[in-house]
């Protein structure tokens, strides 16, 4: 019994844990009712799931039966299309015999013209009358299945085109052959019945199961022995066939009902008992420490948990471990920040010095090119100068690289184009005009060098092609944009012509360099002869 205390001028007081237990019991009463409703819904959901499972099995079985029957129509369509020349008696006999050998379902086959007059027919077997042939030839539907009610079914396929040859083919299939044809559906789960009109030809229906009507129905029935079953029945797409499937239903036992409701009951009991214990010794200390951890996560490195952990040894041990970890992380963070700052400084210095050295090399090559004799030597020096200049520009932008975004590919492309417009005329090639259409894009350091070489090689190659054609000026358009898979670089110029001069099979140095850079990018190079343009699609390893 809970402890009671009396206070003058007031009613009896009870312990806080008892009051919390009473309040929680009253608060959980609606939850208990809701749990019972949910248990009932679970039972209904189980029943509905069984109906859905039975319907799905019906549709799967119906597809199998329809596919088997449609195969026979496919065979007849093929025979009708290949029926020209059957007017000759010997050809008719041979064709009819071969058709019956190929189509094992049929007992007899007859070809007629578009008015239903026989052209060729197999020997023996039950065949439709002349009136039925005339009616089938006049039908608007391309395919028909007729069951006169006896032991045979007529499959008919009508040709709707104006082509010469037979216009109608009719095949006779006995009901016994259809049973053999459809025997594999009997292997489906549960009981399966295929109906031909009111007559079952596959499976034996129970006494209370009749032929399906015109709509799909799914219902749960209880047999005389007390077993529950789910029956799905409905017509197939090829009339007058219909299908019935019967699968056993799982009965919900009393133990299962209790299993559905027991978790809610146990949760209520466990919560009542656990609340009294956990609230005092766990919840409050954890709430206090959680407040401290949130403050620490917000950036307050001075937070410590030793004064927030309550009086239990376990909470104090956790708090002391956290405090030691916080001190170690503060020291390590300070050391890492200092090391990263020094590393960035050294890396930027390296890129800066490499850029300066490459600029000196480019200047020396330019001086040497002025003293070269012969246009081919000067162009060779210019090619080397353009490649070295591209590397120099890349290293300048690596030096300027942002800590988070990577290399500014848009600005890098602008610098490359400006440099190429200055260097190409010195090689006495052409006067280039490079138009840029650039979308803001950032790339990684690994992608910067191969992309710079690609732009340089393709533009320089276009200049050499234009100079070889005797042009004085050259217009080049460069497009850069972002795609779903990464980035897309397009370089267009009419100097490329209709053939792909930089195809991987080419032996030119420019073709080998371009192919190597595309492989290094793990990208894809395509040539659009209609513009003409070179298109390079490449992945982005660093997001904006």
Q: Is position 448 within any domain?
A: yes
Residues 167 and 105 in one domain: yes
Burial letters for 40-67: b for 16+ Cβ neighbours within 10 Å, e otherwise?
Answer: eeeeeeebeebeebbbebbeebbebbee
Distance CA 89, CA 95 (A): 10
- Whether 414 and 433 have beta carbons less than 8 Å apart is answered as no
Distance CA 275, CA 270 (A): 8
Bridge partners, 50 (sequence order): none
Last residue of a domain, one of 181, 198, 227: 181
pLDDT at 388: 72
Q: Is position 272 within any domain?
A: no
Q: What is the mean pLDDT of residues 159-180?
A: 78
Label residue 512 exposed, middle or buried (CB < 10 Å: 0-12, 13-18, 19+): middle
Helices (H), 169-283: 175-181, 254-278
Residues 137 and 175 in one domain: yes
pLDDT at 22: 62
Helices (H), 82-156: 89-102, 130-138
pLDDT at 300: 73
Q: Is position 313 within any domain?
A: no
Last residue of a domain, one of 228, 248, 268: 248
**How many domains would you assign to the chain?**
3
In angstroms and rounded to an integer, the radius of gyration of the C-alpha atoms of the chain is 43
Through-space distance between the first and last CA atoms of the chain, rounded to whole angstroms = 67
- Considering only 330-339, 416-425, 443-452, which range has the smallest mean pLDDT? 330-339
Residues 412 and 511 in one domain: yes
Q: Is position 435 within any domain?
A: yes
Distance CA 122, CA 88 (A): 13
Distance CA 133, CA 147 (A): 14
pLDDT higher than 60, residue 527: yes
Bridge partners, 14 (sequence order): 4
Instruction: List, for residues 290-306, the tens digit of each pLDDT value.
Output: 777 777 777 777 777 77
Instruction: List, for residues 5-58, the tens digit of each pLDDT value.
Output: 444 444 565 544 555 556 666 666 676 667 666 766 777 777 788 888 888 888
Distance CA 363, CA 385 (A): 8
Nearest-CA neighbor of 153 among 134, 118, 124, 179?
179
Distance CA 448, CA 457 (A): 14
Confidence band for 4, pLDDT divided at 50, 70 and 90: very low
Domain with 105 in it: what CATH number? Answer: 3.30.450.30
Residues 157 and 204 in one domain: no
Q: Find the domain containing 108 and state its range.
A: 82-181
pLDDT at 217: 84
Bridge partners, 193 (sequence order): 244
Measured in residues, the chain has a length of 544
Confidence band for 411, pLDDT divided at 50, 70 and 90: confident
Nearest-CA neighbor of 407 among 273, 541, 290, 212?
541
- Whether 164 and 107 have beta carbons less than 8 Å apart is answered as no
Q: Please give the C-alpha separations between residue 311 and each of 131, 286, 306, 314, 451, in angstroms, as whole numbers.
A: 102, 12, 10, 9, 64
Q: Is position 334 within any domain?
A: no
Average pLDDT, the chain: 76
Residues 99 and 216 in one domain: no
Q: Is position 513 within any domain?
A: yes
Q: Which of 31-40, 330-339, 351-360, 445-454 has the highest mean pLDDT?
A: 445-454
pLDDT at 544: 41
pLDDT at 111: 84
- Considering only 128-142, 374-388, 518-532, which range has the smallest mean pLDDT? 374-388
Q: What is the mean pLDDT of residues 66-89?
A: 77
Residues 98 and 199 in one domain: no
- Whether 241 and 63 have beta carbons less than 8 Å apart is answered as no
Burial letters for 391-422: b for 16+ Cβ neighbours within 10 Å, e otherwise?
Answer: bbbbbbbbbebeeeebbbbebbbbbbbebbee
pLDDT at 442: 86
Distance CA 117, CA 132 (A): 11
């Amino acid at each position: 019994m809970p402890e009671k205390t009396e206070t003058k001028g007031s009613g009896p007081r009870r312990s806080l844990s008892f009051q919390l237990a009473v309040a929680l019991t009253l608060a959980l009463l609606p939850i208990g009712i809701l749990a019972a409703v949910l248990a009932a819904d679970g039972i209904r959901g189980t029943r509905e799931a069984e109906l859905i499972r039975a319907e799905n099995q019906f549709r799967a079985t119906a597809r199998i039966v329809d596919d088997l029957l449609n195969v026979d129509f496919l065979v007849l369509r093929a025979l009708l299309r290949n029926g020209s020349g059957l007017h000759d008696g010997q050809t008719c006999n041979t064709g009819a015999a071969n058709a019956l050998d190929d189509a094992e379902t049929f007992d007899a086959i007859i070809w007629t013209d578009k008015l239903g007059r026989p052209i060729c027919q197999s020997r023996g077997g039950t065949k439709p009358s002349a009136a039925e042939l005339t009616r089938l030839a006049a039908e608007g539907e391309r395919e028909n299945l007729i069951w006169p009610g006896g032991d045979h079914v007529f499959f008919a396929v009508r040709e709707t085109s104006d082509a010469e040859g037979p216009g109608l083919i009719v095949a006779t299939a006995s009901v016994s052959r259809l049973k053999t044809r459809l025997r594999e559906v009997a292997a489906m789960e549960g009981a399966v019945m295929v109906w031909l009109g009111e007559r079952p030809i596959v499976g034996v229906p129970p006494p209370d199961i009749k032929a399906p009507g015109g709509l799909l129905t799914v219902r749960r029935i209880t047999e005389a022995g007390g077993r529950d079953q789910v029956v799905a029945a409905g017509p197939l797409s090829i009339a007058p066939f219909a299908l019935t499937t019967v699968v056993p239903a799982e009965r919900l036992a009393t133990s299962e009902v209790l299993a559905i409701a027991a978790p809610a009951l146990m949760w209520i009991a466990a919560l009542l008992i656990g609340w009294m214990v956990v609230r005092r010794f766990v919840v409050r200390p954890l709430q206090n420490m959680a407040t401290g951890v949130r403050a620490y996560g917000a950036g307050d490195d001075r937070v410590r948990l030793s004064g927030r952990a309550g009086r239990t040894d376990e909470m104090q041990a956790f708090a002391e471990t956290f405090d030691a970890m916080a001190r170690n992380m503060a020291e390590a963070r300070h050391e890492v920040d200092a090391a990263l700052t020094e590393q960035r400084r050294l890396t930027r210095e390296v890129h800066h010095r490499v850029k300066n050295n490459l600029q000196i090399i480019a200047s020396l090559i330019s001086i040497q090119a002025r003293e070269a004799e012969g246009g081919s030597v000067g162009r060779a020096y210019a090619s080397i100068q353009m490649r070295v200049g591209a590397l120099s520009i890349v290293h300048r932008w690596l030096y300027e690289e942002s800590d988070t975004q990577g290399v500014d590919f848009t600005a890098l492309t602008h610098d490359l184009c400006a440099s190429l417009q200055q260097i190409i005329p010195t090689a006495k090639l052409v006067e280039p005009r490079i138009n840029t259409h650039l979308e803001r894009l950032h790339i990684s350091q690994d992608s910067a060098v191969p992309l710079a070489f690609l732009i340089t090689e393709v533009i320089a190659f276009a200049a050499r092609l234009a100079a070889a054609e005797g042009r004085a000026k050259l217009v080049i358009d460069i497009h850069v944009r972002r795609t779903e898979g990464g980035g897309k670089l397009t370089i267009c110029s009419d100097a490329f012509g209709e053939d792909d001069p930089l195809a991987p099979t080419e032996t030119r140095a420019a073709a080998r360099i371009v192919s190597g850079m595309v492989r290094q990018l793990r990208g894809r190079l395509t040539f659009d002869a209609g513009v003409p343009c070179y298109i390079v699609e490449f992945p982005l390893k660093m997001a904006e």
